[in-house]
């Protein structure tokens, strides 16, 4: 069942892109069959405190760092110049157009309040989040690399259809990470429950502790070093498992 779960992600990758309504058309973008000819960057500042920051985007990289308030630079594509207005409503990034035509978010980067939960869904793009605390952390991208550093959340779950995952300096109760095709690197993690899955890729865990650890790859190696688990279950369909502790290496 574990191998089935990780390999299902691979099957879903082409379905994600087949259903995507976002396409590049030369130096322009098409959304729902409409060509968006203009792009610009919007600066969004908000001093309110929301429990969760919510983003739903077609595509584009997202880079967020913890700070005192919202200070974001957001690149958008629009049909007409100055057609789009962006606001944060109850923690959700919301956009509307004066023309009623669609628009697309191409990039988000900047600062959000440190103590904020995260809920991000994007069709494609790399996501980087650092120096954040909160209750819930949910990130999903159809394709792109995920990089998280110095994050402390009660619950963490993130996935990418195709891309590498790097998670370092993380404290959490429960963490689950999934990639259809990509490597997973975990460094300095403290958790109660750890689960990581990749359909095709290696899993490397270094200097981490958890009560229960489940790591699974369909095709790839699993390497664990200087880490402590009360219970662990490491599985690979095609590949090797190497568990190194205190200088001693055991091939499982």
Q: How far apart are CA 90 and CA 181, in angstroms?
A: 35
DSSP 115: B
pLDDT at 220: 96
pLDDT at 218: 93
pTM of the complete model? 0.89
Q: From the centroid of its chain, how far is CA 169?
A: 16
pLDDT at 15: 43
Q: How far apart are CA 25 and CA 89, in angstroms?
A: 31
pLDDT at 131: 98
Q: How far apart are CA 233 and CA 213, in angstroms?
A: 6
**Torsion of the alpha carbons at 171, 139, 55 and 58, rounded to the nearest 10:** 150
pLDDT at 21: 60
Question: What are the backbone angles phi and psi of residue 55, rounded to the nearest 5°?
Answer: -135, 130
Tens-place pLDDT, residues 105-160: 989 999 999 999 999 999 899 999 999 999 999 999 999 999 999 999 999 999 99
- Closest alpha carbon to 128 in 77, 177, 87, 165: 165
Q: How far apart are CA 239 and CA 125, in angstroms?
A: 29
Q: Residue range 13-36: average pLDDT?
A: 62
Of 26-30, 61-65, 135-139, 199-203, the least confident: 26-30
Residue range 1-20+148-252 forms a domain whose CATH class is mainly beta
Q: What is the DSSP string of 127-157?
A: EEEEEEEEEEEEEEESS--EEEEEEEEEEEE
Domain ranges of the chain: 1-20+148-252, 29-122
Name which residue leads in pLDDT, 93 or 12: 93
**The tokens of 77 are what?**
């594509």
Tens-place pLDDT, residues 31-80: 778 888 899 999 999 999 999 999 998 888 999 999 999 999 999 999 99
Please name the residue ranges forming H helices in the chain: 2-18
Q: Which long-range contacts (CB under 8 A, 24 or more apart) does 112-116 make?
A: 112/53, 112/64, 112/65, 112/66, 112/67, 112/70, 112/72, 113/49, 113/50, 113/66, 113/67, 113/68, 113/69, 113/70, 114/66, 114/67, 114/68, 116/49, 116/50, 116/51, 116/52, 116/53, 116/66, 116/91
Q: From the centroid of its chain, how far is CA 121?
A: 8
């Amino acid at each position: 069942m574990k191998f089935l779960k990780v390999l299902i992600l691979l099957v879903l990758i082409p379905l994600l892109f087949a259903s995507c309504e976002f396409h590049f058309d030369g130096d322009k973008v098409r959304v729902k069959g409409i060509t968006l000819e203009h792009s610009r960057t919007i600066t969004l500042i908000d001093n309110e405190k929301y429990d969760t920051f919510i983003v739903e985007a077609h595509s584009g990289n997202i880079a967020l760092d913890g700070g005192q308030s919202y200070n974001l630079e957001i690149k958008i594509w629009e049909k007409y110049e100055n057609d789009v207005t962006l606001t944060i409503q109850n923690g959700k990034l919301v956009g509307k157009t004066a023309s009623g035509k669609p628009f697309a978010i191409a990039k988000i980067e900047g600062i959000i309040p440190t103590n904020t939960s995260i809920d991000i869904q994007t069709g494609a793009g790399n996501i980087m989040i650092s120096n954040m605390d909160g209750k819930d952390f949910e990130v999903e991208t159809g394709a792109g690399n995920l990089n998280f550093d110095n994050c402390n959340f009660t619950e963490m779950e993130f996935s990418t259809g195709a891309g590498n995952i790097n998670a370092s300096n993380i404290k959490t109760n429960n963490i689950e990470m999934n990639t259809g095709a990509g490597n997973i690197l975990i460094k300095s993690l403290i958790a109660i429950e750890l689960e990581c899955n990749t359909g095709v890729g290696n899993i490397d865990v270094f200097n981490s502790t958890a009560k229960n650890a489940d790591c699974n790859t369909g095709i790839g190696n699993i390497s664990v070093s200087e880490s402590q688990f009360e219970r662990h279950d490491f599985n690979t369909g095609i590949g090797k498992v190497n568990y190194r502790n205190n200088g001693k290496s055991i091939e499982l």
